[in-house]
A = this chain, B = another copy of it.
Amino acid sequence: MLTLYSYWRSTTSYRVRVALNLKGLSYETVPVDLVAGAQRAPDYVVRNPSKGVPTLVLEDGTALTQSLAILDYLDHVAPDPALLPEDPLLRARVLAAGQVIALDIHPVNNLKVVSRLKSEHGLSADQGTEWMRHWMTEGFHAYQALLPDGPTYSFSDTPLLCDICLVAQLYNAHRWGVDMTPFARLLEIEKQALTLPAFDAARPENQPDAT
C-alpha cells in the first residue's frame, strides 16, 4: 500500500491525490498539519528535507518528494491513463502550462512564504490575501493564453498534468476570493474535472483531516 503524507488544503497534495485516483492506485493518507508545524518534526524531515507536503512513501519505505516529480514517477510505473502526451511538442506545452501554476503561482503563495511576509515584513492579513490574488491573477492570464480552442480540458478531452495543477490551484483561488470574471475557460475546465470521481474524491473537503 502507498502512503501519502498530505495536508487537506495543500494544492500540491491535491495534485498527487488526483493522479493516484486517476490511475486507480489505492493509498493511505497520513495527515501532516502544516498549520501546527508537523512538517518540521525531525522524523518527518528525514523523509522530506524540504519540510513540506506531499511525501509519497512506497511499499518498501522509499520516500518520494515534490509533487511534479511524484506525478512523473506515477506516469512511468502506472502509465494508464497517461498524464502527459507522447508527442514531445504537445508534452512540452502541457508541462509548460502546468508549470505556470506550479512554478509561477504556487511557490510564491506557499504558506511558508506568506507567513514570512507577515512575520518578518509586517504584511497584514489583507495584504497577504492581496499578494496571493495578484500572483494567481497573473498566472491564470498566462495559463489561459496558452490554451487552444476546442478541447474539453486544457489540451485534450481527458485531464492531463496541467489540468490537475489548474484544478488544485482554483481551489485556492476560490478560497482567497480571486476575481474569476476573466477566466471563464478555466472555470469550465474545473467544472468538467470535478464531475470525475478521481477529482471529486481528491477535493480538500473530502480528506480525513478537513476541518
A residues with CB within 8 A of B: 49-52, 62, 64-66, 68-70, 72-73, 76-77, 88-89, 91-93, 95-96, 99-100, 102-104, 106-108, 110, 113, 116-117, 121, 123, 127, 134, 139, 141-142, 145-146
Q: Is the CB of B127 within 8 A of A121?
A: yes
- Chain A interface helix/strand/loop/mixed: helix
Which residues of chain B are within 8 angstroms of A70 by Cβ–Cβ distance? 92
Q: Is the CB of A99 within 8 A of B142?
A: no
Which residues of chain B are within 8 angstroms of A121 by Cβ–Cβ distance? 117, 121, 123, 127
A-B contact pairs, 29 of them (CB 8 A): A49-B145, A49-B146, A50-B142, A51-B142, A52-B104, A62-B89, A64-B96, A65-B146, A66-B95, A66-B100, A68-B99, A68-B103, A69-B92, A69-B96, A69-B99, A72-B91, A72-B95, A73-B88, A73-B91, A76-B88, A76-B91, A77-B88, A103-B103, A103-B106, A108-B108, A108-B110, A108-B113, A117-B121, A121-B121
Q: Is the CB of A142 within 8 A of B49?
A: yes
In the complex, how many angstroms separate the beta carbon of A94 from the nearest chain B beta carbon?
Answer: 8
